């Protein structure tokens, strides 16, 4: 019986590990460098653990990490405002090791400013 309990505990820990690993550690982002980018959404995802957009600005395309979908929805940012072709402004921090990635603190879409953190 004890062996079964230990085995189940280990299996549960292994099942949770990939989800925890997939989430971004915020220390990856340089909070001393605030960027404000305005561009065109090329594609977007509104899924867990957090939404994202690919934002085209003059000279570069950024991968922008947003908030979890439930938070975005609760704060008034439905998926329709992030559709391809939309113009948005994001304010956030660049990733320290991925020069094309940004963690958004806020987004302006459809005339609305939404705080994401």
CATH assignment at residue 98 = 2.40.50.1010
* Mean pLDDT (whole number) for 39-53: 96
Per-residue pLDDT for 31 more than 90?
Answer: yes
How high is the pLDDT of residue 12? 46
Q: What is the DSSP letter of 72?
A: H
Tell me whether residue 12 is in a domain: no
User: Dihedral of CA 34/38/43/44: which sign?
Assistant: positive
Tell me whether residue 13 is in a domain: no
**Domain range for 52:** 26-115
pLDDT band per the 50, 70, 90 thresholds, residue 26: confident
| End-to-end Cα spacing for the chain | 45
Share above pLDDT 90 across residues of the chain, in percent, rounded to a whole number: 76
Tell me whether residue 14 is in a domain: no
Tell me whether residue 17 is in a domain: no
Tell me whether residue 79 is in a domain: yes
Number of domains in the chain: 1
How high is the pLDDT of residue 3? 58
Tell me whether residue 15 is in a domain: no
Tell me whether residue 10 is in a domain: no
- Is residue 56 a contact partner of residue 40, using CB atoms and an 8 Å limit? yes
- Longest alpha-carbon distance in the chain: 63
Per-residue pLDDT for 77 more than 70?
Answer: yes
* Mean pLDDT (whole number) for 90-114: 97
Tell me whether residue 76 is in a domain: yes
How high is the pLDDT of residue 2? 57
Tokens for 59, please give them. 């000279």
Per-residue pLDDT for 29 more than 90?
Answer: yes
């Amino acid at each position: 019986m004890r062996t079964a309990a230990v085995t189940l505990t280990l299996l549960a820990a292994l099942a949770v590990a990939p989800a925890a690993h997939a989430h971004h550690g915020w220390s990856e982002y340089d909070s001393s460098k605030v960027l404000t980018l305005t561009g065109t959404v090329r594609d977007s995802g509104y899924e867990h653990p957090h939404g994202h957009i690919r934002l085209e600005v003059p000279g570069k395309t950024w991968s922008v990490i947003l908030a979890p979908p439930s938070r975005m929805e609760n704060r008034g940012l439905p998926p329709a405002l992030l559709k391809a072709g939309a113009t948005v402004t994001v304010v956030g921090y660049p990733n320290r090791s991925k020069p094309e990635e940004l963690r958004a603190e806020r987004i302006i879409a459809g005339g609305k400013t939404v705080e994401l953190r």
